[in-house]
Structure 1
Amino acid sequence: MQPASTDRDDAAMRFSFDSQVITAFVSAALAVVVLTAMTWSVADEASRAGESVAHSHEVLNGLARIRGDTLQIELSSQNFRLSATRPSCRNGIRALPAASCCWRRFAG
């Protein structure tokens, strides 16, 4: 009777070891999946933040250009009021379409 109980004990220990190995493997696979999902999420958020910063720079550059064009128009207008000659007003007229185009792009 002794050998039969030894076979049962060996089978139980082998089953226990196999189940521990499978549990460890499944746990490691689950950890890899979770870490992959977290990494993807962080990378996606970083990409969105980069796009937001790029858009902010684009808006700031456009506003600076609009400010410069508006100043050019105002100076040309003042020069025209002082001298009443057409050539002094042409610089402001040339800057007007560019300023209104930029303004429409950012306002709309």
Structure 2
Amino acid sequence: MVRNEPEPIDDIIGGEAKTDLWRCLPFLKGSEPSPTTLCCQVEQFVQTLANTTQIRRDLCECFKNIGLGLGVDPARAKLIPMYYHIELLVPIDPYVDCNT
């Protein structure tokens, strides 16, 4: 029998992606001039989860879907690494192709 239920790791990854975007949402939508320290901390933690190609793709899809629904500005998302000198292994972009 084939089950279509999400794997527990998918729930964790999806939950972390949501937390990440919620913490950064004021900046990502343009209502705050810079991301908060908490946004950076959450972003760094989520990036530590991205240790396999499949997890990076899953996170990317979560960010993409959540970003589309919440109106995230991809240009502002690309600024997060510059503010906190971190490398984003997973883009926060509602228009990205997560399979590349």
* TM-score, with length taken from structure 2: 0.34
* Structure number with bigger Rg: 1
Q: More helix by proportion, 1 or 2?
A: 1
* TM-score, with length taken from structure 1: 0.32
